[in-house]
Structure 1
Amino acid sequence: MTGHQGFGVIERTSWRKRAARLFGQWGVFFRGFVEEPRMVGSIIPSSRFTIRKMLAPVDWERCEVFVEYGPGVGTFCQPVLDRLRRDGTLIVIDTNPLYIDYLKKHFTDSRFHAVHGSAADVVDIVEAHGHDGADYVLSGLPFSTLPDGVGPAIAKSTYDVIRPGGAFLVYQFSAKAREFMARHFKRIDSGFEFWNVLPCQLFWGWKDRED
């Protein structure tokens, strides 16, 4: 086998691995959507534009604990880990064991913890990991389609777990989440990201230090 032929084989093998990983990820994401459509915000993962804009206001130097609800196949996980302090903690919570199993296999960073459970139990989950609160909580959960009572419970628990100076980061296709947030967060910044499928509403509910 010549050098050029060897390079071609390696290139094709690498491409196949990347393709298998990509389609495997999409397959898991789509299966999770089919199993629990009311708990998954979108059939397509968020765009890099949404990720960048959503995470922009985070003060990463002071962020010790970052929590995400409904991580799916981890679209936000690596971007968060790339920005998070070396001594920080990322806790992701999902009700679908399919997603949790996938995430545990694909993220080996010691700062990463995937939990099968409800976002409404975030206070207990964070405490179980040795922390008295979280600095930021990110959510892509579809508040408009969650079962009755779940949205308000999640909003309250989130406010309770966030430390003063932190924020609840929410991206949605509708403004329904803002209604639940406004019951607890006095200051809510809003944004919009067109380059996403579908275009989405962005909200940052701040827990000011005097609250």
Structure 2
Amino acid sequence: MISSSVAKTTVLNRIKSRASRFFGQWGVFFKGFIKHPVMVGSIIPSSSFTVKKMLAPVDWDNTKLFVEYGPGIGTFCQPILDRMRPDATLLVIDLNEDFIKYLQYNFRDSRFVAVHGSAADVNAIINNLGFAHADYILSGLPFSTLPNNLGPVIAEETAKAIRPGGAFLVYQFRARARDFMIPYFRKIDNGYALWNVLPCHLFWGWKE
């Protein structure tokens, strides 16, 4: 029979383990924000409500390659993997090496590929992986504050990378993100995620 002291120790160890994993995620995210604030855009990961609403229009049965820019600690990664086909691929691209290392360690799914690089090079990256195009590309990058005129460049390269019928999924705190999409996507659906810290604008730019 297990003594009460042993049982208490076991419970405490479980609590410590869970707390370590939780604060470990937040620690990595906070560190990434401090190192690259204009690239991360927010100190708080997206809410589950935002994730669900953002991914709702995706046609998962016809998705072979899903790309995410700036995945952070992977808030969207597991929900995407849960929805994807067994033969599909999730490619995430981030300039922050700490995030990439964290994701490579924590996501061991064979469909998951994490690349340390720039979203501006998305076409070269997907071609190197053997794909001609992406079906959907998701981004939470803060377009209006990206340095070196990267916002328009990423928008243009993204439009080239997406197949006809696919979409560019964007969530931003500022509605100005839509301005970067307008030159390349004639149809843009709008949404809003109130239950998020901070509330954010949602856009779905469809490739004709």
| 2:75 corresponds to | 75
| 1:46 corresponds to | 46
With the length of structure 2 as denominator, give the TM-score of the two structures: 0.97
In the TM superposition, residue 11 of structure 1 has moved relative to its aligned partner by 2.7
Instruction: Identify if the C-alpha distance between structure 1 residues 129 and 3 changes in structure 2 by more than 3 Å, giving closer, same or farther.
Output: farther
Whole-Å separation in 2 of the counterparts to 1:3 and 1:178: 61
Whole-Å separation in 2 of the counterparts to 1:100 and 1:10: 33
With the length of structure 1 as denominator, give the TM-score of the two structures: 0.95
| 1:153 corresponds to | 153
Gap runs ≥5 in structure 2: none
Whole-Å separation in 2 of the counterparts to 1:62 and 1:107: 23
| 2:109 corresponds to | 109
Query: Residue type matched to 2:14 in 1?
Result: S
Deviation by residue 1:60-99 (Cα, 9 ceiling, x = unmatched): 1111100000000101001100101100000000001011
| Pairwise CA RMSD | 1.2
Whole-Å separation in 2 of the counterparts to 1:162 and 1:3: 60
Residues 129-144 of structure 1 correspond to what in structure 2 (within 5 A)? 129-144=129-144
Give the paired residue count. 208
Whole-Å separation in 2 of the counterparts to 1:183 and 1:7: 62
Residues 192-211 of structure 1 correspond to what in structure 2 (within 5 A)? 192-208=192-208
Deviation by residue 1:6-56 (Cα, 9 ceiling, x = unmatched): 544333222211110110110010010000101012100000000000000
1:127 aligned onto 2:138: no
Whole-Å separation in 1 of the counterparts to 2:26 and 2:16: 15
| 1:187 corresponds to | 187
Secondary structure of the corresponding residue to residue 130 of structure 1: coil
| 1:97 corresponds to | 97
Whole-Å separation in 1 of the counterparts to 2:88 and 2:4: 45
Whole-Å separation in 1 of the counterparts to 2:75 and 2:40: 13
Deviation by residue 1:156-194 (Cα, 9 ceiling, x = unmatched): 110000011100000000012111100100000000011
Identity %: 62
Gap runs ≥5 in structure 1: none
Whole-Å separation in 1 of the counterparts to 2:33 and 2:168: 24
1:13 aligned onto 2:13: yes
In the TM superposition, residue 3 of structure 1 has moved relative to its aligned partner by 6.1
